[in-house]
């Protein structure tokens, strides 16, 4: 038995196969989205712009990034932008890994990305950034720079303050920005973004009364606070000299105390319009801009952008997690936006524009708004996506979001379990042309995703299932059987050559997790539930207005969602977690603050830094994770969200009968997804894709993916 590992190969891009599908046609309904738009000296081929997005690859993995961007260009976006690019060592946001343009030595990596974007048929854009008081400068060890003496604004609250920039600092900054523009042009970029958004840029810091406490000509009035932005825009235009367009990325709403107000934005747009070729409007923080579907719907921010276009003679770009072409058309027709910006929808489906143009709207792999992509950047690891398992793997493993090698044999596969891992395996094997039998024990297809999508605010996640079922429905050689619980005898009797087991995992009911290595004492009279019970009758039998303790030792979304669900049903909920905040890992998906707010407003009593140590009938004992001091708390029921166990009975049963496999024509049995090791939905989808990609390949000892090596500088023993 082999698991998620198995066959490996040095990655080469697959041959172009079965994409685009034959017979696709231009769809006239959305023609307005395919009109060109002039951006100063350049012209877009349509209205789709992949706006800057981080990807956790940056300066460490530039070739992987180049391939990722090229494939998006191939998918029809007219402009493809880099993430923010640090322009100078005083803008060093270590530990995060973005691109750098500190000196000429960085040009080749940036040029490779531009070249790849051009190769894909798009204009190459670069977002130049000086991060000001958001740069802790942990590598360069320079003092952070800002409009005033204030603590840095980094996520880690690094123990360092930004220094108030003097006039000569400002002059130097302008020089660094000019140099970066020159390097960007040398690297081949057609569009230069000037970044003044998200509280991540010194230009935002100067614009904002929250940070700008100056009394000179760079502080005070709105005009003074936007002076530095005006100077940098003018410098950028001059350096671009008509060879590249200038786009200003500007904050439109920051509702924090002293944040940039609507008046500031309107004033800046009206006054600086002549200095830019287009505007890209963003919100005050990345967290407020990239909200998850749990907290906002598609295009929910439109009221914040509406009306700004009327102040400008230049095209306006904006995002809204757009996946519906009708919504996009409405944005253009109603005069809110000229260009449809997308980061996450372009990650989930790099071919979104192409599919709209060619009448394949139903095939769009719609972003579910989960921010797993963001977690790549936040954990300094290459980007991954729940919906698009090829994201970040384009160069590393040679995966493509739409193309996959045709089958190389007449093998046929039994896929057991129709959760995200099984559905992706069946769908991708089907795309390769293999005969597939997909067997699911339950009536419903979709596994944990179908269940979790029923929880509060998670309905959008259902798209993971819907996309794969849509694909599978188009493959006559993929048969789907519901209510078919597979046992070892069924496998051995099946007319297939290979078996992949994707039977998922179940939540533990004994309290074992991160905090407890051994089961906690549980009174037989206690009411103990797990998240799995929330989809069945047990949760309805709880009665009304009960006191429920949710013990969250998982730390991702589910503990918080469970608390929200139960509070919404009128129970008195106390969320006990050993972490300092509820759903602590969601700091990486930018949701952590919104989750605390929602739980508190829902009346959930969050008890951080505590663990449930025993469960009695009508009460639990909890302890402080620091002092160990215990207390008894009343509880009519406890929900344990601690850890999961793989559903591996089928795997174990087949392993025990390994000697019978060949006699029944079975070549291989593999286990993937949560049944192999419980993890995220993204990991399960990825495991399904990996199985399909590597199917029918000879195992190899080669490293399973390509990586870029650091170029060694000459070594010297001095000092």
Closest CA to 468 of 365, 325, 569, 571: 365
Q: Could you say which of 51, 117, 145, 368 contacts ligand SF4 (CB under 6 A)? A: 368
**671 carries an active-site annotation:** no
Dist. CA 261–CA 253, nearest whole Å = 6
Contacts with ligand SF4 in 315-344 (CB under 6 A)?
344
Q: CA-to-CA distance for 327 and 298, rounded, in angstroms?
A: 9
Closer by beta carbon to ligand SF4, 64 or else 647: 64
Q: Which option in ligand SF4, ligand ADP, none does residue 486 bind, with CB closer than 5 to 8 A by kind? A: ligand ADP
Stretch in the footprint of ligand ADP (CB under 6 A) among 386-394, 412-420, 427-435, 516-524: 412-420
Compare residues 49 and 650 and give the one whose CB is closer to ligand ADP.
650
Which entry of 59, 193, 195, 691 is annotated as an active-site residue? 195
Q: One of 264, 289, 363, 636 is an active-site residue; which one?
A: 289
For residues 501 and 507, what is the distance between their CA atoms, to the nearest angstrom? 19
Residues between 662 and 701 that touch ligand ADP (CB under 6 A): 673-675, 684
Catalytic residue among 198, 205, 555, 588: 198
Nearer to ligand ADP, 75 or 531 (CB): 531
With binding defined as CB under 6 A, does residue 554 bind ligand ADP?
Answer: no
Q: Is residue 684 within the footprint of ligand SF4 (CB under 6 A)?
A: no
Q: How many residues does the chain have?
A: 719
Task: Pick one of 123, 269, 550, 647: the residue that binds ligand ADP (CB under 6 A).
Answer: 647
Which span sits near ligand ADP by CB under 6 A: 131-139, 433-441, 548-556, 699-707? Answer: 433-441
- In the complex, least distance from residue 67 CB atom to ligand SF4, rounded to whole angstroms: 17
Number of residues that bind ligand SF4 (CB under 6 A): 13
Q: What CA–CA distances, in Å, run from 270 to 120, 284, 311?
A: 35, 19, 6
**Intra-chain end-to-end CA distance of the chain, in Å:** 54
367 binds ligand SF4, rule: CB under 6 A: yes
- For the CB of residue 477, give the shortest distance to ligand ADP in the complex, in Å: 20
The verdict on whether 195 is a catalytic residue reads yes
The set of long-range contacts for 580-583, using a CB threshold of 8 Å and a minimum separation of 24, is: 580/608, 580/609, 581/606, 581/608, 582/552, 582/606, 582/608, 583/552, 583/555, 583/556, 583/557, 583/559
Distance CA 339, CA 341 (A): 6
386 lies in the site for ligand ADP, by CB under 6 A: no
531 binds ligand ADP (CB under 6 A): no
Q: Is residue 618 a contact partner of residue 546, using CB atoms and an 8 Å limit?
A: no
With CB under 5 to 8 Å by kind, the binding choice for 552 among ligand ADP, ligand SF4, none is none
Rule CB under 6 A: which of 461-490 touch ligand ADP?
485-486
Q: Is the peptide bond before 247 cis (omega within 30 degrees of 0)?
A: no
| 353: partner contacted, choices ligand SF4, ligand ADP, none (Cβ within 5-8 A by kind) | none
Q: Which of residues 498-527 bind ligand ADP (CB under 6 A)?
A: 502-505
- Candidate ranges 379-387, 502-510, 698-706, 709-717; the one touching ligand SF4 (CB under 6 A): 379-387
Q: In angstroms, rounded to a whole number, what is the distance separating the alpha carbons of residues 681 and 693?
A: 18
Catalytic site residue 289? yes
Task: Indicate the DSSP class of residue 367.
Answer: -
Per partner kind, with CB cut-offs from 5 to 8 A, the member of ligand ADP, ligand SF4, none near residue 599 is: none
Q: Is 117 in the site for ligand SF4 (CB under 6 A)?
A: no
Q: How far is the CB of 400 from ligand SF4 (least distance, A)?
A: 16
What SS3 string covers 35-89? CCCEECCEECCCCEEECCCCCCCHHHCHHHHHHHHHHHHHCCCCEEEEEEEECCH
Interface residue with ligand SF4, options 236, 265, 285, 387 (CB under 6 A) = 387
Whichever of 11 and 368 has its CB closer to ligand SF4, that residue is: 368
Query: Following DSSP, what letter does each residue of 597-644 receive, concatenated?
Result: HHHHHTT-EEEETEEEEEEETTEEEEEETTT--EEEEE-SEEEEES-E
CB of 593 to ligand SF4, least distance (A): 17
- Which of left, alpha, beta for 433 (phi over 0: left; psi -120 to 50: alpha)? left
The reply to whether 440 sits near ligand ADP by the rule CB under 6 A is yes
Nearer to ligand ADP, 409 or 481 (CB): 481
User: Rounded CA gap, 226 and 219, in Å?
Assistant: 8
Q: Which residues sit opposite 337 in a β-bridge?
A: none
Q: Which does 385 bind (CB under 5 to 8 A by kind): ligand SF4, ligand ADP, none?
A: ligand SF4
Q: Does residue 373 interact with ligand SF4 by CB under 6 A?
A: yes
Yes or no: say if 232 and 88 are a contact pair by the CB < 8 Å rule. no
Cα 34 to Cα 81, 315, 408: the distances in Å are: 19, 15, 38
- Asked whether position 472 contacts ligand SF4 by CB under 6 A, the answer is no
What CA–CA distance (Å, rounded) separates 496 from 539?
Answer: 40
* 198 belongs to the catalytic site: yes
Q: What is the CA radius of gyration of the chain?
A: 27
Comparing CA positions, the residue from 514, 579, 572 lying closest to residue 563 is 572
Out of 285, 386, 497, 583, point to the residue binding ligand SF4 (CB under 6 A).
Answer: 386
Q: If binding is defined by CB under 6 A, does position 348 make contact with ligand SF4? A: yes
Which lies closer to ligand SF4 via its Cβ, residue 91 or residue 371?
371
DSSP character at residue 232: H
Give the Å distances, CA to CA, from 470 to 293, 427, 475: 22, 9, 9
Q: How far is the CB of 654 from ligand SF4 (least distance, A)?
A: 33
Tell me which residue has tokens 């007449």.
Answer: 410
The answer to whether residue 439 forms part of the interface with ligand ADP (CB under 6 A) is: yes
Binding residues for ligand SF4, rule: CB under 6 A, are: 344, 347-348, 367-373, 385-387
Write out the catalytic residue numbers. Answer: 54, 195, 198, 289
Binding residues for ligand ADP, rule: CB under 6 A, are: 416-422, 439-442, 447-448, 485-486, 502-505, 647, 650, 673-675, 684
């Amino acid at each position: 038995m082999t698991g998620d590992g198995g066959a490996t190969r040095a990655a080469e891009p697959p041959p172009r196969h079965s994409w685009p599908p034959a017979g696709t046609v231009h769809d006239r309904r959305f023609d307005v989205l395919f009109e060109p738009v002039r951006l100063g000296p350049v012209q877009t081929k349509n209205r789709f712009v992949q706006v800057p997005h981080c990807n956790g690859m940056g300066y460490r993995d530039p070739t992987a990034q180049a391939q990722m961007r090229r494939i998006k260009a191939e998918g029809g976006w007219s402009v493809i932008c880099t993430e923010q690019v640090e322009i100078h060592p005083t803008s060093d946001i270590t530990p995060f890994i973005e691109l750098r343009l500190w000196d000429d030595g960085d040009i080749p990596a940036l040029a490779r990305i531009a070249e790849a974007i051009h190769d894909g048929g798009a204009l190459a854009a670069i977002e130049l950034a000086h991060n000001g008081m958001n740069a802790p400068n942990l590598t360069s060890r320079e003092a952070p720079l800002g409009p005033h003496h204030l603590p840095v604004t980094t996520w880690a609250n690094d123990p360092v303050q930004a220094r108030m920039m003097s006039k000569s600092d400002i002059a130097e900054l302008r020089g660094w920005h000019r140099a970066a523009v020159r390097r960007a042009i040398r690297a081949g970029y057609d569009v230069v973004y000037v970044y003044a958004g998200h509280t991540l840029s010194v230009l935002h810091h100067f614009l904002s009364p929250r940070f700008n406490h100056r009394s000179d000509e760079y502080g005070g009035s709105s005009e003074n606070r936007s002076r530095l932005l005006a100077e940098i825009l003018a410098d950028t235009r001059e350096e671009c000299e008509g060879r590249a367009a200038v786009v200003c990325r500007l904050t439109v709403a920051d509702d924090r105390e002293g944040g940039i107000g609507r008046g500031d934005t309107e004033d800046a747009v009206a006054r600086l319009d002549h200095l830019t070729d287009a505007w890209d409007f963003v919100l005050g923080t990345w967290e407020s801009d990239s909200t998850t579907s749990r907290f906002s719907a598609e295009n929910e921010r439109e009221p914040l952008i509406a009306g700004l276009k009327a102040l400008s003679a230049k095209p306006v770009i904006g995002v809204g997690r757009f996946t519906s072409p009708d919504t996009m058309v409405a944005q253009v027709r109603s005069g809110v936006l000229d260009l449809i910006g997308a980061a996450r929808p372009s990650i989930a489906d790099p071919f979104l524009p192409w599919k709209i143009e060619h009448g394949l709207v139903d095939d769009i792999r719609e972003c579910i708004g989960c921010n797993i992509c963001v977690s790549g950047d936040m954990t300094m690891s290459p980007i991954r996506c729940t919906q698009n398992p090829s994201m970040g793997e384009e160069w590393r493993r040679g995966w493509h979001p739409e193309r996959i090698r045709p089958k190389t044999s007449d093998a046929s596969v039994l896929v057991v379990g129709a959760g995200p891992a099984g559905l992706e395996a069946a769908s991708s094997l089907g795309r390769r042309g293999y005969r597939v039998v997909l067997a699911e024990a339950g009536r419903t297809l979709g596994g944990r995703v179908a269940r979790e999508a029923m929880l509060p605010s998670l309905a959008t996640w259902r798209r993971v299932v819907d996309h794969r079922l849509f694909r599978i429905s188009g493959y006559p050689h993929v048969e789907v059987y519901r209510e078919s619980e597979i046992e070892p005898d069924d496998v051995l009797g099946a007319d297939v050559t290979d078996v992949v087991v994707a039977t998922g995992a179940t939540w533990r009911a004994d309290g074992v997790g991160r905090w407890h290595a051994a089961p906690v004492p549980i009174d037989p009279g206690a009411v103990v539930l797990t998240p799995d019970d929330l989809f069945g009758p047990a949760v309805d039998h709880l009665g009304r207005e009960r006191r429920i303790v949710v013990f969250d030792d998982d730390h991702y979304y589910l503990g918080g969602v469970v608390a929200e669900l139960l509070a919404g049903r009128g129970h008195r909920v106390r969320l006990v977690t050993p972490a300092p905040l509820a759903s602590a890992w969601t700091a990486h998906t930018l949701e952590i603050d919104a989750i605390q707010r929602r739980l508190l407003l829902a009346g959930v009593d969050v008890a951080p830094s505590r663990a449930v140590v025993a469960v009695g009938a009508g009460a639990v004992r909890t302890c402080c994770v620091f002092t160990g001091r215990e207390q008894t708390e009343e509880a009519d029921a406890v929900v344990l969200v601690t850890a999961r166990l793989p559903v591996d009975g089928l795997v174990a049963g087949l392993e025990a009968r390994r000697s019978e496999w060949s006699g029944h024509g079975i070549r291989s049995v593999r286990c993937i997804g949560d049944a192999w090791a419980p993890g995220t939905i993204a990991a399960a989808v990825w495991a399904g894709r990996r199985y399909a990609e590597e199917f029918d390949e000879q195992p190899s000892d080669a490293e399973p993916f390509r990586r870029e090596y650091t170029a060694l500088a000459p070594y010297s023993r001095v000092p």
